[in-house]
A and B are shown apart, each in its own frame.
Chain A
């Protein structure tokens, strides 16, 4: 009994400590941002600046079909004028088709926002996943949209400038999720005079959830030696979308036939994308300039 009580006490202490630590971390980041704001905006026009911070900027959550979850997003007015607007949702600005939109699943609980300088508001969201929801990714963005009627156009000819600040929500609906991608393009020049050579790739996500391929492009010489390597840019590829990559590989003196090969992993099961293209790198202009006189001399001698 005594042991149980002391265990419970210890757990409570640990939980309080963790909460304190999280608060400390948050305050540290918030104060850093505030400090940066003051130093960066100190020399701008005396007119008040629009300055809004959103946190978190991205949310990734896992849910089951039929489940409901509540999220919160904070907006801080760090400018010196009041901000008026509305919280709205949309998937239109995301690179996903309607099939992967979570807009209909998302309810915004607090739509109107009025923030005086220095004020923070917490916006509540309710995400309802239907019972028959398909496993995989669903996506929605929640954003602050200023109330345009509050920003009157009193000038003669003018542009009314409207800032919009977005927070992204990625939902993973549990179940049998298909992870599948393919390299739809991997090309380089057939013949290059020298490095670096431009290698273009495209990866298509055929699966149900966004992937973030991690990989490299190697340039391998005729003897199998890797002469250069470049890292593939890491970025999310949403379901049923294509992503383009442009890399430059090959340094120093290069001569002969080379193999450019892509190797990238994606998903949570160690799946791999590989593709190869062969190319020649020959300083043909220099060779031609040297060779032609030699050929002429050889002919004359013969």
Chain B
């Protein structure tokens, strides 16, 4: 009996340990809730790393991350709460990760560690949401905006801390007249008594809107706007951030409450100041696409072509050996400085028709060479397993007839698939049969020259009627969208 009990306990524990896991938890904000900034840039803040005498233009800092040329900076000296003497400087160059230059030169001495430099990014903040339940008279809307957990949450200087939980927006000496509330498109300040509490070490910035007049109905579209002037100051990146300050997500909490300050409805709204996008405006984006023929002396896709191609033609020529492969190749090369990258697609207008006749449908009708009343060379089905325009399979049996293609990287590795251990073939996407063109080469960044061989393979059955068979293959090269 003891053994049985122990067994049951062990199995139960194993079950909990291995199988009782929590599935996906949805923490997304409500769809109708949003918080936006007129200027979403993270501010900059860094300690001065070495004592710097007046008259110097080069400043040594802990990091220049998130600082850019033409940014306006100021210095905050130990014991001070704002920009020293209200003086601003322009960043004239970023020298390296720890040094930058300013204009004009420093008129004061800076002390390492105790003094710091900031670039202030301020913004108008707009918080929107729809009420669900009614907000009665003397009920309220209560908004918490993250602020730094110290007594420095209202000095107009960007804040930073060791974690998101301890950091936030600086109130920048805004007062209640800088905060407005709208119901739909209508100003609604007259229906509320507003109070604003600056954040402290114990709580975030708090805005309370107490309802006067009549109750606010449910499903009211409320907007709360903090004016651009003076604006709220965006935080600087979190200290030692893994993301390097790419994005820091803060959470604004909005509550609707009844007359006893009891919670009616609530929502958490995320807002994310970010590092700005820098654009290289002086360098034009160029894209070069080259299609070249390949001769029989070049090795491609595991072997040498049987004939020489040109940039505009893959000439299989006379197919006088049924049940045998004929291989030809072309070489595609891309050079581009487009930051997003590029792609090249392939498609065929139709399968290879005799004298260019159409080949209706995707598959032959009665035998492998008849499409309706026309004779065609079909797209190959490859060996034992069916290949398609999206799935490649081995094609080493010349009695599996038709046309197919494979890819092989010549320079760099941008081909989307390659032939290995034999010829690994796909069908060309037949646009007339409703297929979609397929990407054959792509990269998510610029390239100084990616080259890929496109290797075509053809095999015909003994009963293929004599004549010329052809179709058109299109390559489309484009910058990534």
Contacts and interface: CB of A to CB of B under 8 A. Distances in A.
Interface string A197-226: 000000000000000001110000000001
B352 interface: yes
Contacts of B286: 29-30, 33, 53-57
Given A49-B290, A57-B336, A299-B6, A214 B313 contact: no
A26 interface: yes
A151 B377 CA distance: 22
Contacts of A165: 287, 289, 477-478
Contacts of A44: 292-294, 331
B308 A168 contact: no
Contacts of A25: 282-284
A208 B449 CA distance: 36
A175 interface: no
A167 B298 CA distance: 32
A155 B309 CA distance: 11
Centre residue among B18, B282, B309, B312 by max chain A CB count within 10 A: B312
A97 interface: no
Contacts of B287: 53-55, 57, 165, 167
Contacts of A286: none
Interface stretch (A4-12, A34-42, A62-70, A109-117): A34-42
Nearest to A302: B3
Interface in A133-148: 141, 143, 146, 148
Given A157-B377, A265-B274, A271-B272, A50 B311 contact: yes
Contacts, number: 304
Interface string A256-280: 0100000111001111111111111
A53 B246 CA distance: 34
A93 interface: yes
A61 interface: no
B150 to A, nearest CB: 22
A13 B295 CA distance: 54
Interface string B263-276: 00000001111110
A94 interface: yes
B470 A268 contact: no
B192 to A, nearest CB: 25
Given A25-B282, A299-B7, A160 B478 contact: no
Contacts of A41: 290, 292, 333
B473 interface: yes
Contact of A269 (B36, B292, B318, B340): B36
A295 B340 CA distance: 57
Interface in A79-94: 79, 81, 93-94
B283 A272 contact: no
Nearest to B20: A280
Interface in B1-33: 2-3, 6-7, 10, 14, 17-19, 21-29, 31
Nearest to B477: A165
Contacts of B26: 275-276
A157 B317 contact: yes
B59 interface: no
Contacts of B435: none
B161 to A, nearest CB: 16
A282 B308 CA distance: 57
Contact of A155 (B3, B273, B313): B313
B226 interface: no
Contacts of B225: none
Nearest to B428: A159
A297 interface: no
B294 A45 contact: yes
B472 A22 contact: no
Given A33-B288, A160-B470, A272 B249 contact: yes
A112 B105 CA distance: 57
Interface in A104-142: 141
B285 interface: yes
Nearest to B471: A159
Given A157-B352, A270-B272, A164 B476 contact: yes
A293 interface: no
Given A41-B290, A45-B308, A163-B291, A155 B316 contact: yes
Nearest to B314: A159
A29 B337 contact: yes
Nearest to A48: B311
A298 interface: yes
A59 to B, nearest CB: 9
B339 to A, nearest CB: 9
A278 B21 contact: yes
Contacts of A268: 40
Nearest to B458: A157
A57 B22 CA distance: 48
Given A40-B411, A274-B270, A298-B6, A161 B313 contact: yes
Given A44-B292, A57-B479, A235-B480, A159 B313 contact: yes
Nearest to B246: A214
Contacts of B472: 148, 159-162
A52 B292 CA distance: 12
A168 B411 CA distance: 26
B242 interface: yes
Contacts of A282: 17-18
Nearest to B164: A263
B271 A272 contact: yes
Contacts of B295: 45-46
A47 interface: yes
A159 B335 contact: no
Contact of A238 (B273, B476, B481): B481
B451 interface: yes
A263 B283 CA distance: 32
Contacts of A274: 27-29, 249, 270
Contacts of A231: 246
Ranked nearest first, the 3 interchain pairs of A and B with the lowest CB-CB distance are: A270-B40, A269-B36, A155-B315
24 contacts: A33-B286, A37-B288, A45-B298, A47-B292, A47-B311, A55-B286, A57-B342, A58-B340, A143-B478, A155-B468, A156-B317, A158-B470, A159-B348, A159-B352, A162-B473, A163-B311, A190-B23, A229-B242, A236-B481, A264-B247, A269-B38, A271-B34, A276-B24, A277-B24
